[in-house]
Amino acid sequence: MQLSRIIINENADQQYIFLREVDGERSFAIVIGLFEATSIDRRVKGNRGPRPLTHDLIANIVDQMGGEIAEVHITELKDATYFAKLKIIHNGETLEVDSRPSDAIALAVTVNAPIYVVEDVLEELVD
């Protein structure tokens, strides 16, 4: 999947990011918070602040501990809530860390990691 669009409305609590299949037609929106939306938007535009923000901090910690955020997976859609996992490679092992999709996507954009959505979630969105 690729991040295809970010909608930021500073007067609203809900912001939207859109993911689209790289080699397909399917796309969908995820509702996220303003902080995560602006963090993703800044990274997409290449704007880095003078000090690390939360997603930079997490990426830096993983890196300093010898790990790598390898990929992000949107794993489930339950009661209109998406769930995600970070796949982190550390010492040759793959670790899965539970994450909100907005944070996972912000980290993926920060470290240029691929974003995947499990087929069950995509099928549920199409139905």
Alpha-carbon span 99 to 54, nearest angstrom: 14
Residue range of the domain that includes 50: 2-126
- Domain containing 67 — which CATH number? 3.10.690.10
Q: What's the token pair of residue 22?
A: 């790289």
What pLDDT is stored for residue 83 in this prediction? 97
Do 91 and 43 touch, CB atoms closer than 8 A? no
Alpha-carbon span 77 to 60, nearest angstrom: 29
- pLDDT tier at 53, thresholds 50, 70, 90: confident
Task: Note the pLDDT tens digit of each residue in 2-34.
Answer: 999 999 998 888 999 999 999 988 999 999 999
What pLDDT is stored for residue 3 in this prediction? 94
Global pTM value:
0.91
Do 72 and 105 touch, CB atoms closer than 8 A? yes
Alpha-carbon span 43 to 62, nearest angstrom: 18
Alpha-carbon span 31 to 16, nearest angstrom: 5
Nearest to 73 by CA among 40, 112, 37, 119: 119
Query: Into how many domains does the chain fold?
Result: 1
Task: Note the pLDDT tens digit of each residue in 57-106.
Answer: 999 999 999 999 999 999 999 998 999 999 999 999 999 999 999 999 99
